[in-house]
């Protein structure tokens, strides 16, 4: 999984899996989902990210099963 924030365009890109993208679906005018051939979500793109998410307060936590 990769997370990229492009400050110059205020765009957040979250890649869940590296796969060939065959379709991009609009969730709304500022959010897109990239899908692979099997319909799995591969990535999410969010425009105006600083207004819509706490971009500077990113944290990651892995919980044991």
CA distance linking residue 65 with residue 46, whole number of Å:
30
CA distance linking residue 43 with residue 39, whole number of Å:
12
> How do 41-47 and 11-15 pair as beta strands?
antiparallel
Q: Please tell me the predicted confidence (pLDDT) of residue 58.
A: 74
Question: What tens digit of pLDDT does each residue of 34-52 get?
Answer: 999 999 999 999 999 988 8
pLDDT 10s digit of each residue in the chain, 65 long? 999 999 999 999 999 999 999 999 999 999 999 999 999 999 999 999 988 887 777 777 888 87
The three-state DSSP-derived secondary structure of the chain is CEEEEECCCCEEEEECCCCCCCEEEEEECCEEEEECCCCCEEEEEEECHHHHCCHHHCCCCCCCC
**Would you list the domain boundaries of the chain?**
1-40
């Amino acid at each position: 999984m990769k997370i990229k924030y492009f400050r110059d365009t205020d765009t957040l890109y979250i890649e869940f899996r590296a796969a060939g993208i065959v379709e991009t679906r609009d969730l709304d005018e500022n959010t897109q989902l990239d899908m692979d051939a099997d319909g799995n979500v591969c990535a999410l793109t969010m425009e105006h990210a600083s207004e819509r998410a706490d971009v500077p307060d990113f944290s990651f936590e892995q919980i044991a099963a």
